[in-house]
Amino acid sequence: MAIVEVRNLVKEFPGGVRAVDGIDLATEEDEYLVLLGPSGCGKTTLLRMIAGLEQQSAGDVLIDGEVVSGLPPRARQVAMVFQSYALYPHKTVLANIVFPLRAARVEKSERDRKARWAADLLGISHLLARKPRQLSGGERQRVALARALVRQPKVFLLDEPLSNLDAKLRASARDELKRFQDEVRTTTVYVTHDQTEAMGLGDRIAVLSQGRVRQVGPPMQVYDDPADTFVATFIGSPPMNLVPRGDVLVGFRPEHLLPSEVAPGGLPVTLKVDRLEYLSGDRHVYGTAIGVGEPTRVVARLPATVEADVAVGEEQPFAVPARRIRYFDAESGVRTQAGSS
Amino acid sequence: MADREGTLAWLFLMPSVVYILALVALPFLLAIGYSLSDVTAGDPSFDWVGTRNFQRVFEDPVFWRSLGNTFVFTLISMALIVVLGKVLANILVADFRGKWVVRFLVLLPWTTPVALSSIAWLWMLDSIFSPIDWVLRQLGLIEGNMYWLGEPGLAMASVIAVHVWRLTPLAAVIMVAGLVAIPRDLDEAARVDGAGYWRRMFEVTIPLVLPVAAVAALFGAIFTFTDMAVVDVLTNGGPNNATQVLTSWAFFRGIDGGDVGQGAAIALFLFPLLLAAAIAILRAVRRLEVR
């Protein structure tokens, strides 16, 4: 429905801390854009500036091609789901959902119709008379989503909406969020520090670090072709292995470092294995990589389908398929193509 | 001994138990006893007179007037204290340059001893030399003097105004605590939801601060109810008992007038009212805990 764009956006807090340091970023129509980064990278500040809760120090925010930088939140037609959900504790679920419509002076019959529609969509119709404190975490999250949805905003802003849920609930809530997104198809900016959420939900991911965008791209691209060593090591679990060789870093993902009999013809790596972990079917092999560059500790992730024997304490032949190898400048950490020398 | 929690608990509780028994329970029982006796300042011997004191109190129009005044005084003061306290609280939590000066000034009335501030107000409201009158005269709003403490209606208004002036800072500080406890997210959510200042104020902030405001109001009510310093200093209950309240009337009758029995009977009327207020406070506090 709308495009959100920020141009050279800067937020400097008193004391000179630059939480957001010149970000240019634009969503596409109806896109699910995830802002991913470690805590303190400026992703929430960026989101709050889009919402209008934080005033930018420089630059502009555009929604639907219009500059909204100076406008208060209510004039921006955005809806936000907070990390804490920020449900009004003294209001019932229905009153919570209806609140934005009342603020917009929507007529009562229309309000009720829309509230029921939103509640139905999120499966909380049976909870309308309850107070927030009588709800579980997952139900609260859905009420917060319904409250955001009911006004049919131009843009959804979600600030770590899953981080208050326990691990098991988070997976199913993520799944529901995805279905919700497919159904409502509204431009969404989603902030998270959890790469699984980012990879699973985002049409595109913007990886942020220290107030700057390191890379923007679809999940696969960000994962397979990281723009620098920050992205390479922030995304992926375990992260990408980086082996120094001269003035480059040789990078390869743990799942691409395989026993040489299953990866014939690849870059040979001798792995001195010192530890083995067996995690949900995969084997994580920790050891020192010899022969690629300087001996470096690396991790290999062998899927359950690889049944080759790996023994702790031995040096074993491993290999990385050549097309899976990425090179980074050792100095700047930026991706280089010419590193294959 | 430190391991015997029961004994230790009693040991720690003892000072306050003794204090409450000696200074609250004992005088209360004495008051009940006196109210049923003919004890006076001149003749302290105890003779049982049954409910005669109460009958005489009921027949006294000044008592009814005092009772009515007490309610008017308390209700109006309480309403003003809560509203002004909320406004002041908003000012106290706001962030602006020089806010410490404002905070200092706001808290000043509460920190001044009531006798001193009441005397200051007595001068301010003086029938001839009142600076308030002088300002009004200079502005051309009045001619002559207002006689703040001489006209029944104005006297009541003056007593209420001084009381409000004195108690509002306390209410404001209590409400600041309530305001600060509201998560910032809620206000921000309301802003994003499109609510303007007044809607946020009346639909989010005030409902959430309500239990705390109730505590502030009830504290104010009890302070107002049981206070006689302002009345005593400013008007002495006058003119013609127009500002007489239960406490001042009990004092005049029982201590100044020496009729201890009747004074005690009048003072006992405070008890059911204060009991109701205390129960209301405890319930408000419980609502706070539930949330």
> SS3 sequence, chain A?
CCCEEEEEEEEEECCCEEEEEEEEEECCCCCEEEEECCCCCCHHHHHHHHHCCCCCCEEEEEECCEECCCCCHHHCCEEEECCCCCCCCCCCHHHHHHHHHHHCCCCHHHHHHHHHHHHHHHCCHHHCCCCHHHCCHHHHHHHHHHHHHCCCCCEEEEECCCCCCCHHHHHHHHHHHHHHHHHHCCEEEEEECCHHHHHHHCCEEEEEECCEEEEEECHHHHHHCCCEHHHHHHCCCCCCEEEEECCEEEEECHHHCEECCCCCCCEEEEEEEEEEEEECCEEEEEEEEECCCCCEEEEEEECCCCCCCCCCCCEEEEEECHHHCEEEECCCCEEECHHHC
pLDDT digits (tens, 9 = 90+) for A275-314: 999 888 889 999 999 888 889 999 999 998 888 888 888 8
Domain carrying residue B80: 65-290
Residue B35 in domain: no
Q: Which of A56-70, A160-174, A226-240, B131-145 has the lowest mean pLDDT?
A: B131-145
Domain A242-340 has CATH 3.90.1150.10: no
For residue B189, name the pLDDT band (cuts at 50, 70, 90): very high
Distance from CA of A69 to the nearest CA of B (A): 14
Instruction: Say yes or no to pLDDT of B8 above 80.
Output: yes
Contacts of B185 in chain A (CB under 8 A): 82-84, 86
Instruction: Say yes or no to pLDDT of B290 above 60.
Output: no
For residue A93, name the pLDDT band (cuts at 50, 70, 90): very high
Interface-testing mutation among B95, B185, B187, B192, with chain A (most A C-beta atoms within 10 A) = B192
Instruction: Give pTM, 2 decimals.
Output: 0.76
Q: How many CB pairs under 8 A join A and B?
A: 64
CB contact under 8 A, A82 and B189: yes
Look up residue B252 and give its DSSP letter: I
φ/ψ of A218, rounded to 5, equals: -60, 155
Rounded to an integer, what distance in angstroms lies between the CA atom of residue A120 and that of residue A291?
Answer: 60
The number of distinct structural domains making up chain B is 1
Q: Which of A58-62, A202-206, A211-215, B208-212 has the lowest mean pLDDT?
A: B208-212
Query: Which of A304, A305, A303, A308 has its CA nearest to residue A318?
Result: A308
Provide the pLDDT for residue B212: 83
CB contact under 8 A, B185 and A51: no
Which candidate from B185, B193, B208 shows the least CB-CB separation from A100? Answer: B193
Provide the pLDDT for residue A341: 44
Query: Would strands A248-252 and A241-245 be described as parallel, antiparallel, or unpaired?
Result: antiparallel
Question: Taking residues B184-204, what's their average pLDDT?
Answer: 89
Amino acid at A232: A
Is residue B285 within 8 A of residue B215, CB to CB? The reply is: yes
Is residue A168 within 8 A of residue A136, CB to CB? The reply is: no
Contacts of B199 in chain A (CB under 8 A): 102-103
Burial of residue A159 (CB within 10 Å: 0-12, 13-18, 19+) is: buried
Residue B86 in domain: yes
Provide the pLDDT for residue B291: 54
Q: Which of A324-338, B47-61, B165-179 has the lowest mean pLDDT?
A: B47-61
Q: In which residue are the tokens 């031995």 written?
A: A314
Rounded to an integer, what distance in angstroms lies between the CA atom of residue B81 and that of residue B67?
Answer: 21
Provide the pLDDT for residue A285: 93
pLDDT digits (tens, 9 = 90+) for A4-47: 999 999 999 888 888 888 899 999 988 999 999 998 898 999 99
Which candidate from A86, A103, A151 shows the least CB-CB separation from B185? Answer: A86
Instruction: Using only the alpha carbons of chain A, give its radius of gyration.
Output: 24
Instruction: Say yes or no to pLDDT of A98 above 60.
Output: yes
Instruction: Say yes or no to pLDDT of B1 above 70.
Output: no
Provide the pLDDT for residue A298: 93
Rounded to an integer, what distance in angstroms lies between the CA atom of residue B94 and that of residue B88?
Answer: 10
Burial of residue A207 (CB within 10 Å: 0-12, 13-18, 19+) is: buried
Provide the pLDDT for residue B289: 60
Residue B264 in domain: yes
CATH at B93: 1.10.3720.10
Contacts of A74 in chain B (CB under 8 A): 191-196
Percent of chain B with pLDDT over 70: 98
Q: What residues of chain B have any CB closer than 8 angstroms to a CB in chain A?
A: 183, 185-186, 188-196, 199, 203-204, 207-208, 291
pLDDT digits (tens, 9 = 90+) for B250-280: 888 888 877 888 888 888 888 888 888 888 8
Which candidate from B183, B207, B291 shows the least CB-CB separation from A86? Answer: B183
Rounded to an integer, what distance in angstroms lies between the CA atom of residue B256 and that of residue B176?
Answer: 41
The partner residues of A326 in beta bridges, in order of sequence, read A251
For residue A340, name the pLDDT band (cuts at 50, 70, 90): very low
Is residue A320 within 8 A of residue A267, CB to CB? The reply is: yes
Question: Taking residues B151-170, what's their average pLDDT?
Answer: 85
Provide the pLDDT for residue B163: 85
Contacts of B188 in chain A (CB under 8 A): 53, 73, 80, 82, 86
For residue A191, name the pLDDT band (cuts at 50, 70, 90): very high
Percent of chain B with pLDDT over 90: 3
Degrees (nearest 5) of the Cα angle B271, B275, B278? 140
Q: Could you tell me the residue ranges of all domains in chain A?
A: 4-224, 242-340
B282 CB-near residues (< 8 Å, 6+ apart): none
Residue of A nearest to B200 (CA): A103
Buried b (16+ CB within 10 A) or exposed e, B187-214: bbbbbbbbbeeebbbebbbeebbbbbbb
Question: Taking residues A132-154, what's their average pLDDT?
Answer: 89
Superfamily of domain A4-224: P-loop containing nucleotide triphosphate hydrolases (3.40.50.300)
Question: Taking residues A126-154, what's their average pLDDT?
Answer: 90
Distance from CA of A171 to the nearest CA of B (A): 25
Question: Taking residues B100-125, what's their average pLDDT?
Answer: 83
